[in-house]
Amino acid sequence: MTGKEANTHGAILQDTEPEDGDRPTVQLRNAGKAYGNIRALHGVDLAVRPGQVTCVLGDNGAGKSTLIKIISGLHQHTEGEFLVDGEPVHFTTPRQALDRGIATVYQDLAVVPLMPVWRNFFLGSEMTKGPWPFRRLDIEKMKKTADEELRNMGIVLDNLDQPIGTLSGGQRQCVAIARAVYFGARVLILDEPTAALGVKQSGVVLKYVAAARERGLGVIFITHNPHHAYMVGDHFSVLRLGTMELSAERSEITLEELTNHMAGGTELAALKHELSQVRGLDVDELPDARDLTAL
């Protein structure tokens, strides 16, 4: 997946876009967001193109969630421009983003704990049947669809009627991801989707990201794990203290450089050195986040 993508997308960093084909579905130009007097985001450029995975990386509090909340319609930007299909927009509700085919897995998952799993899956986009005064939920179809989508993710639930609050954190996350994958027609935004997941489910999520790209969706993938990012990403943006520190195509950066950027370069080098002394680790093979926590 590396060489081909890098070649096709290598040349589109300029502002002059061709009229068709590669025009970004979603684009931020010099965008920023202030919460009162806290400037959470400033001067950020980002483009999401069909069939391309844009990874957003950065420390805790760097502004990643703020960035995607602008795109998903939860917050509004206070500076710069936000374009969908080349047209400037100001989403006031997430409904507007969803109607444009932009679906999001939020970091806090956005589920209603007391409601059954299947109702959560379809919340806000319920399937109905029947003419107006008697239009009602198509419960059977919704349950069936939810069950299928969850099984595809490797999640098997005995009872879709149980309140989602009784599921484990990772199971809840899978429901949120399956939901976004199901409803994201054009752009899929994932805010740290693998944070609470097991190895198998993380793998499934990465596969989903790759599959979404094959289907021609634009994907924004937020993660702390550069290995995960590098496995599926076509473009990498690193945020630091609310500004874009790095924005690079896959062809322009190696995994090691990316990891260095994320960890603040020299600090990680020092850490690596220490670790190699303690454990005799192979310094060339960079430990990823999971290895570090495993210590």
Partner 1 sequence: MSMTQHAEPAVTSPPAPGPKEVDGRTVERPQVLRLLARPEVGVFLGAAAVYVFFLIAAPPVREGASMANILYGSSTIGIMALPVALLMIGGEFDLSAGVAVITSALTAAMLSYQLTMNVWVGVIAALVVSLAIGFLNGWLVVKTGLPSFLITLGSFLILQGVNLAVTKLVTGNVATDDISTMDGFSQAKKVFASSFDVGGVQVKITIVWWLVFAAIATWVLLRTKYGNWIFAVGGNKDSARAVGVPVAFTKISLFMLVGFGAWFIGMHQLFSFNTVQSGEGVGQELIFISAAVIGGCLLTGGAGSAIGPVFGAFMFGMVQQGIVYAGWNPDWFKAFLGVMLLGAVLINLWVQRTATRR
Q: Which residues bind Mg ion (CB under 5 A)?
A: 65, 107
Q: Which of positions 133-172 make contact with ligand ATP (CB under 6 A)?
A: none
CA distances for 137 relative to 66, 145, 157, 227, angstroms: 34, 13, 21, 42
**Nearest residue to 52 (alpha-carbon basis) of 218, 211, 279:** 218
Q: Which of positions 56-85 make contact with partner 1 (CB under 8 A)?
A: 72, 74
- d(CA 210, CA 231) in angstroms, rounded, equals 9
**Nearest residue to 240 (alpha-carbon basis) of 105, 65, 60, 78:** 60
Sign of CA dihedral 84, 89, 91, 96: negative
Asked if 41 and 242 touch (Cβ cutoff 8 Å), the reply is yes
Helix or strand holding residue 271 (H, E): helix 266-279
To Mg ion, the closest distance from the beta carbon of 191 in angstroms equals: 6
**Six token digits for residue 225:** 């794990």
220 near ligand ATP, judged by CB under 6 A: no
Helix or strand holding residue 53 (H, E): strand 53-58
Nearer to partner 1, 152 or 276 (CB): 152
x/- letters, 231..270, toward partner 1 (CB under 8 A): ----------------------------------------
x/- letters, 100..119, toward ligand ATP (CB under 6 A): -------x------------
61 near ligand ATP, judged by CB under 6 A: yes
- d(CA 165, CA 133) in angstroms, rounded, equals 33
| Partner interacting with residue 265 (select from Mg ion, partner 1, ligand ATP, none; CB below 5-8 Å by kind) | none
Nearer to partner 1, 7 or 128 (CB): 128
**Six token digits for residue 245:** 């520190």
The DSSP-derived string for 108-132 is T----TTSBHHHHHHTTS--EES-G
**Six token digits for residue 72:** 């998903």
x/- letters, 29..48, toward ligand ATP (CB under 6 A): ------x--x-x--------
Q: Which of 27, 52, 65, 260 binds ligand ATP (CB under 6 A)?
A: 65
Nearer to ligand ATP, 41 or 174 (CB): 41
Nearer to Mg ion, 107 or 225 (CB): 107
3-state secondary structure of 19: coil
To Mg ion, the closest distance from the beta carbon of 68 in angstroms equals: 8
Asked if 101 and 187 touch (Cβ cutoff 8 Å), the reply is yes
Stretch that binds partner 1, among 93-101, 209-217, 227-235, 249-257 (CB under 8 A): 93-101
The footprint of partner 1 (CB under 8 A) covers: 72, 74, 93-95, 98, 104, 106, 108-116, 119, 122-126, 128, 135-137, 139-140, 143, 147, 151, 156-161, 163, 165-166, 179
The footprint of ligand ATP (CB under 6 A) covers: 35, 38, 40, 58, 60-66, 107
